[in-house]
Structure 1
Amino acid sequence: VLVLGNYYIHEIVKTEDYQLRIDLLDQEGNWAFAGYKKFFIGGPDTSYRLNVSYYYGNAGDSLAYHNGMQFTTYDRDNDMDQLNCAVNCAGAWWYRNCHQSNLNGQYETNTQSGIIWYHCRGFDHSLAKSTMMVRKKIKHQL
C-alpha cells in the first residue's frame, strides 16, 4: 500500500487532468465504488482544497458535499463547523460541517467517527476498507 500526502498528490495532479476512483468494502464483504472524471487538489496555499466533478459509480456521491472544502486536521481547523471536525470525527478530511464521507476515520467502529461513505452504508456502519486511486484522464472522455 502506498500512502501519499496531499502535498505529493497536488504535485502529481497539478499539471494534467486526473480522475479519482474510490473503492469501498463494507463489513459484510460487499464492494462499491465512486468515480470522478475530474479530480484536483489545490496546493498548500489553498489548504489542499478538494475539487471533484462528474461522478459515476454505484456507491452514491458522498464526496460532493465536501467539494470545494479545505483539508482539516487536528491542528488546522478549516471546516465550517464551530468545533474541529477532525477531532470530532477522528481523522483529517475535507470536512464541511462535518461530513458525508470520511475515509480517514477509525477502523471498526459503528459511529460517525468510523470510515464513512454515507450514501453507501449510512453514518452508523463503518467500512472495512477504502482505497483512493488517481490516474490521468483518458483523452476521449469529458
Structure 2
Amino acid sequence: MEDFVGGFVHAEYITFSIEPEFNGYRLLLGNYIDGGAGDSMSYHNGKKFSTFDNDQDNSGTNCAVTHHGGFWFHGCFQTNPNGLYTWGPTPYAIGVMWQSWKGFNYSLKSITMKIRPRLHRSATAIPESNVTTSYH
C-alpha cells in the first residue's frame, strides 16, 4: 500500500482463499502476520463477496453501493481496496481505504493484493531460503 506522501506498508496473512460461487465467494483468511499496515482484513473473514447487484453483506444497506465497489463486506468494512480512487483526504469512507493504517478519511494512492501458492513440502522440495520470488 502507498499513500500520497511516500509512505509504504503491507499486510501479510498466513493464508487466503475464496470459496466457490455456490458459497458466495466467501473469504477464508488466516492470521495476520505483520507488515506495518495493521490488520484491517480479518474483520472481513468469513464474509461473502458483495456487489451492487448482489448484496451479500450483513448491513441493512448494500455496502457495495454505499462505498462504491465490490468486496467481502461485513457491515460494512475496515478495508475497501475497491473504493473510489480519490487523492488523499476524503469524505468519510468512500475511497481506497485501509482503516488501521490511515483511517476512514484517507484514500490510498495504491493498494495491491498479491497471492502466491502454498509450498507443498516434500523430500525433494527446495528450501524456502533458496527460492527467489520477484513481483513486477
Inter-partner Cα distance in structure 1 for 2:119 and 2:79: 26
Counterpart check, 1:29 vs 2:6 = yes
Larger RCO of the pair (alpha carbons < 8 Å, separation 6+): 1
Give the alignment partner of residue 54 of structure 1, picking from 13, 16, 31.
31
> What is the CA-CA distance between 1:73 and the residue it aligns to?
0.1
Bigger radius of gyration: 2
Indicate the residue corresponding to 1:118 in structure 2.
99
Counterpart check, 1:135 vs 2:116 = yes
Is there any run of 5+ residues in structure 1 with no aligned partner, and where? Answer: 1-23
Give the alignment partner of residue 18 of structure 2, picking from 19, 41, 59.
41
> What is the CA-CA distance between 1:58 and the residue it aligns to?
1.2
How much identity, in percent, do the aligned residues show? 38
Which of structure 1's runs of 4+ aligned residues deviate more than 3 A?
Answer: 138-141
Contact 1:25 1:130 in 2 (8 A): yes
Which one has a larger percent strand, Structure 1 or Structure 2? 1
Is there any run of 5+ residues in structure 2 with no aligned partner, and where? Answer: 122-127, 129-136
Contact 1:37 1:137 in 2 (8 A): no
Task: State the TM-score, normalizing by the size of structure 1.
Answer: 0.79
Inter-partner Cα distance in structure 2 for 1:72 and 1:29: 31
Task: State the TM-score, normalizing by the size of structure 2.
Answer: 0.82
TM-align CA RMSD: 1.4
Q: Quick one: which amino acid aligns to residue 84 of structure 2?
A: Q
Indicate the residue corresponding to 2:60 in structure 1.
82
**2:9 is paired with a residue of what secondary structure?**
strand
